[in-house]
Structure 1
């Protein structure tokens, strides 16, 4: 057992999809786990694992320092994903300022490992083949504010590693799917809606994917084997929605949705966006930014994570099957409770 294994491990954002799976895997290894939560956070995803819960906020530096006392590793999984907010000020505050506060606290408290849950949205675009970590970010002119905030956060982390000695590692995680999604996350729940025949129309787009359990495993492997100041692509298979949704409907024996093209979807989003702006509406989900992000990412090369971390993701079919089984079981449980 290493020194970081024997000391308390802090998980911030432990009530979220990625964070809660990190917590489960740490507990399964017999680790002492502390979870930093806001008092308003749901704890449903943490029911079962034996963990110490402390209350605080990444925007409150004092609560971060208190939570990190006696810890060896910090898994930082806090993210504000609300790309649809009209006022993006809070997105930068939560995603950038919160991380900076945590990194300052980590340096002050002598944290030995700082594993940061980043996103594939910080990667460059490669029209000629798979994307690697070495391709610089090259689409700032088209990146919406949410992506800019996540990019700024990751850049801050890498700068802290380089200039201040933060023992940090960044994980560029693809769209996560799988079981135990208590929030639930929109894209994972959309898969369930397709599987049960509740989504008649689908977009003809594609995405890199990763099983949530494999993403959590990558975080634990990065703690042990990740090189300080490096980032790792945590992505498995790239899949078009036609094939992805076909897996889901085949399992449930339902009819696949009808698909509309990206161009048609973008045009529709542009029209709706203009109408909502004329009506002075705010915080709407339908936007050209959302459409652009739905199909901008292509195949991601996970070779670095496989080589350096020893990471081996499971087949996508297993992820789809387990996600559907979990949502189905949860729905049946909710129906039983209603009676």
Structure 2
């Protein structure tokens, strides 16, 4: 049997699918998860579990010892935080310690989960991995992701770490127990709690199983020091909601919020955050982030990693079925409760 594979952040949406695919392939899999983390997505798997967060470097070192590949799937995605310090603490500072440990191990590959938001995208043109991002005016969340990717590529260049950066798009599919922000769109639709659709908003998207497969292929074929865009296509919020409603057999939202109204709602959220000192998910910064979408070209991943994704619409349907199953399970549980 080959050397063990380590998945850090294995209970997350993407990390759990990486873990499941490795186990299905017969690999000896180690996982690292935080104390008291919700691990329902991997509890049925035969893995060796290490408990600790990424700042617990003794546990990181023990988990990594003897492994040949590390899949790093940890990210704080709370782009709405008024105080962005936690984003940089996890996404950059925590990563730096793990990289220090990894650089001292005889790894064959360190597969880092980055974001397609680190690539320079402009409306009207298709971006590739060679397009540098304009670092002026970036949101705190995107800055944390850019700095994290910079750090990984620096360790590849200056410390000999065989690292690749996977610039993954928004992921859809089953098992989104933590409810990612884009997954919440599908859950809200299925549960009938989505009052409207945001007009003029689209995301680069990919099925979570295809994204996980890309990470595993990167361990085999990825070139150290390179980054790879992982997306299947651009898809609008309206199409995601329509597909999810159709699959779940529920009516889609009847109202659409036009772009000017979206900016007005973002301005109101920004003002509320300032006056009340609260974290608001819909602010001018988040609206600008949603509106910054532009097409990307994933030919490099297809060519070098031999990656062939399925249409993301199928993954949206899978996600809708997942939430419909959850809805049915909750309904059954309530019916079983005594009056």
TM-score, length basis structure 2: 0.94
Q: Which residue of 1 aligns with 2:185?
A: 190
Q: Which residue of 2 aligns with 1:52?
A: 48
Q: Which residue of 1 aligns with 2:166?
A: 171
In structure 2, the CA distance between the partners of 1:327 and 1:195, relative to structure 1 (3 Å rule), is closer
Q: Which residue of 2 aligns with 1:244?
A: 240
The number of residue pairs the alignment matches comes to 333
CA contact (8 A) 1:133 1:232 kept: yes
Tell whether 2:250 aligns with 1:254.
yes
Q: Which residue of 2 aligns with 1:108?
A: 104
Q: Which residue of 2 aligns with 1:99?
A: 95
Post-superposition offset of 1:228: 0.6
Cα distance in 2 between the residues matched to 1:186 and 1:43: 19
Picking from 201, 207, 210, the partner of 1:211 is: 207
- More deviation, 74-83/127-136: 127-136
Picking from 25, 28, 44, the partner of 1:29 is: 25
1:34 alignment partner, SS class? strand
**1:119-198 superposed matches below 5 A:** 119-138=115-134, 140-198=135-193
- More deviation, 172-181/245-254: 245-254
Tell whether 2:277 aligns with 1:304.
no
**What is the root-mean-square deviation of aligned Cα atoms in Å?**
1.5
CA contact (8 A) 2:169 2:231 kept: yes
Show CA shifts across 1:224-243 (max 9, x none): 00111000000011012222
Tell whether 2:286 aligns with 1:290.
yes
Q: Which residue of 1 aligns with 2:275?
A: 278
Cα distance in 1 between the residues matched to 2:302 and 2:91: 28
Name stretches of at least 5 consecutive residues in structure 1 with no aligned partner.
Answer: none
Runs of 4+ in structure 1 off by over 4 angstroms are none
CA contact (8 A) 1:207 1:295 kept: no
Post-superposition offset of 1:186: 2.5
- More deviation, 251-260/203-212: 251-260
Cα distance in 1 between the residues matched to 2:329 and 2:313: 24
Cα distance in 2 between the residues matched to 1:328 and 1:252: 6
Post-superposition offset of 1:71: 0.8
Cα distance in 2 between the residues matched to 1:193 and 1:211: 19
Q: Which residue of 2 aligns with 1:64?
A: 60
Show CA shifts across 1:227-278 (max 9, x none): 1100000001101222232222232343332211222111221123213312
Post-superposition offset of 1:37: 1.1
Post-superposition offset of 1:195: 4.0
Cα distance in 2 between the residues matched to 1:128 and 1:200: 31
Cα distance in 1 between the residues matched to 2:240 and 2:328: 24
Post-superposition offset of 1:196: 4.7
Name stretches of at least 5 consecutive residues in structure 2 with no aligned partner.
Answer: none
Q: Which residue of 1 aligns with 2:37?
A: 41
In structure 2, the CA distance between the partners of 1:262 and 1:142, relative to structure 1 (3 Å rule), is farther
Show CA shifts across 1:173-192 (max 9, x none): 11111101111212113113
TM-score, length basis structure 1: 0.94
**1:80-91 superposed matches below 5 A:** 80-91=76-87
2:279 alignment partner, SS class? coil
Cα distance in 2 between the residues matched to 1:16 and 1:252: 24
CA contact (8 A) 1:191 1:245 kept: yes
